[in-house]
Amino acid sequence: MVKLDWDIESEKGRSQLHKENPKGQRSRSRAVFRLLLVVGIFLAIIGLVVFLIQQRWTQVNDRLEELLVQTVQSEVAALRIGNLENFLAIQRSASDDWYLAQQNTFQQYQQLNATSNVVLSGRVLDTTIDGQRGRVQVEEIVDGVPYVRTWFYWRYNEIVDETTGEIVQEGGWHHVPPDYTFWGEPASLESERLLIRYRELDAPVANAMQTQVQHWLDDLCSLFNCEALPMLTIDIIPDAQLTVNWATNEQNAWQMVLPSPYAGRARAD
């Protein structure tokens, strides 16, 4: 087949169009590389900023926890040596009732020191910080038996008189009345015949209770027909004023209400 001149020229033109200009290719490659480099640097900067913020946040939290533990240890030391002034200086509340209650607590510890073998080491078993709030579980050993006390603290800001420059209110952690809203998230344990409702702090109590009560129920039902037995509900409530009692809810199920042992002096063994 004979190709005319203009057909040959047309094919050459198309061939040249499909051929990429090496100079243009290098230019586009450099542009893509620069774009990827900028994106990479930007992401690296963001990652570095996030890392530094997390590190700073961790350092601040660690420092707050360290100061809280130091406050607890100072308070326990005041109880151990019998220094009422130092002990009350760590207390803080808008109500005088708390100071009176803590004076009674101080006297109870002094009497306990005189009549029992008490070890007030100030060993902190657990700390939880939520903003300005702090919760601490501290160990004490009475006659060789380990106990745990749960105390609550609030981190106050320092207040300075702008006119005189004097400190009106000292900042830092102070022991405050129990905050039963700061007991952890609600949770429950449920089986065929048993329901235990509690808050996070009482998880060890709830787990131990489930094992024991479930064993009792299994023994009972191995001897008697339990088909008509209603579900047993146990509510563990953080309230030192509460007493163990039975109640019947609207479903006519058995319901036991008992105070959290951590609302007072709880055994730790």
Shared domain check, 210 and 164: no
Residue 145 maps to which CATH number? 3.10.450
| Total number of domains in the chain | 2
Q: Which residues contact 245 (CB under 8 A, 6 or more apart)?
A: 256, 257, 258
Q: 83 lies in a domain? A: yes
With vertex at residue 166, the alpha carbon angle to CA 165 and CA 172, rounded to the nearest 5 degrees, is 115
Rounded Cα–Cα distance for residues 204 and 198 (Å): 10
> What phi, psi does 120 have (nearest 5°)?
-105, 85
164 and 142 fall within a common domain: yes
Non-local (6+) Cβ contacts of 146 within 8 A are: 139, 140, 267, 268, 269
**CA angle (202 as vertex; 199, 207 as ends), nearest 5:** 110
- Dihedral sign, CA of 57, 200, 186, 92? negative
The boundaries of the domain holding residue 203 are 186-263
Q: What is the pLDDT of residue 11?
A: 54
Is 142 part of any domain?
A: yes
pLDDT in tens, the chain (269 residues): 554 454 555 555 555 545 556 766 777 777 777 888 788 888 888 887 887 777 666 666 778 899 999 999 999 999 999 999 999 999 999 889 999 999 999 999 999 988 888 899 889 999 999 999 999 999 999 999 999 999 999 999 887 767 776 776 778 999 999 999 999 999 999 988 899 999 999 999 999 999 999 999 888 888 888 887 888 899 999 998 899 988 766 665 688 999 999 999 999 88
> Do 89 and 70 belong to one domain?
yes
Residue 58 and residue 172 share a domain? yes
Q: Same domain for 61 and 129?
A: yes
Tell whether 9 is covered by a domain.
no
Nearest to 134 by CA among 176, 96, 166: 176
Of 263, 205, 264, 266, give the one whose Cα is nearest residue 234: 205
Assess whether 112 and 220 both reside in one domain. no
Q: Is residue 20 part of a domain?
A: no
Domain-located, residue 202:
yes
Which DSSP symbol is given to 262? G
SS3 54: helix
Q: Are both 66 and 166 inside the same structural domain? A: yes
| Of 169, 168, 201, nearest in space to 186 by CA | 201
Residue 206 belongs to a domain: yes
Same-domain status, 78 and 160:
yes
Q: Please return the burial class of 103, using the count of CB atoms within 10 Å of its CB with bins 0-12, 13-18 and 19+.
A: middle
- Looking at residue 87, its pLDDT comes to 96
- State both tokens at 98: 């708390």
Residue 263 C-alpha from the chain's centroid: 17
Is the residue at 7 inside a domain?
no
Instruction: Identify each DSSP E strand in the chain by its residue range.
Output: 118-119, 124-130, 133-142, 145-156, 159-160, 167-169, 172-176, 186-190, 194-199, 232-237, 245-248, 254-259, 266-267
Q: What is the pLDDT of residue 111?
A: 93
**Per-residue model confidence (pLDDT) at position 66:** 93
Residue at 116 is within a domain = yes
- One domain for residues 77 and 126: yes
Last residue of a domain, one of 129, 152, 176: 176
Same domain as 98, residue 69: yes
Identify the H or E element spanning 123: none
Q: Are residues 138 and 195 in the same domain?
A: no
Sort residue 6 into left (φ over 0), alpha (ψ -120 to 50) or beta.
Answer: alpha
Look at residue 159 and give its three-state secondary structure.
strand
**Same structural domain, 194 and 144:** no
